[in-house]
Amino acid sequence: MTAQMIISIFTLVIYLIIIFVFNKARIRYAGGKVGKVINLILITVCLLFIADYVTIFDQMIDAEILGIIKALFRTAALSFLAYGGAKIADS
């Protein structure tokens, strides 16, 4: 097992824990600003998860294109979090 694979498994476990915990919190704190913030965090984490695990397709897609896709998903996650946070702060 390579170091890259160990790091990927570790981050997968962290992502799953975050998604599980915030999904339970979303059910408990449905509605209001807290519910909106939880939804923002969940969507951001899911987009970052996709960005990290797009490397699964490295056999099928060129490395440069994978880098572009990874950057797009990371940018989308941070943009979504910033826009949503600003919108929640205004309300």
Q: In terms of residue numbers, what domain contains 8?
A: 3-90
The pLDDT of residue 32 = 86
Please name the amino acid found at residue 84.
G
pLDDT of amino acid 69: 95
Q: Domain count of the chain?
A: 1
Nearest to 33 by CA among 89, 77, 78: 89
**What pLDDT score does 55 carry?**
85
Mean per-residue pLDDT pooled into runs of 10, the chain (91 residues):
88 94 91 90 94 89 93 96 91 79
Give the per-residue pLDDT at 8.
87
Q: Rounded distance, CA 54 to CA 65, Å?
A: 10
pLDDT at 89: 87
**Cβ partners under 8 Å of residue 61, min gap 6:** 69
62 sits in the region (left: phi over 0; alpha: psi -120 to 50; else beta) called: beta
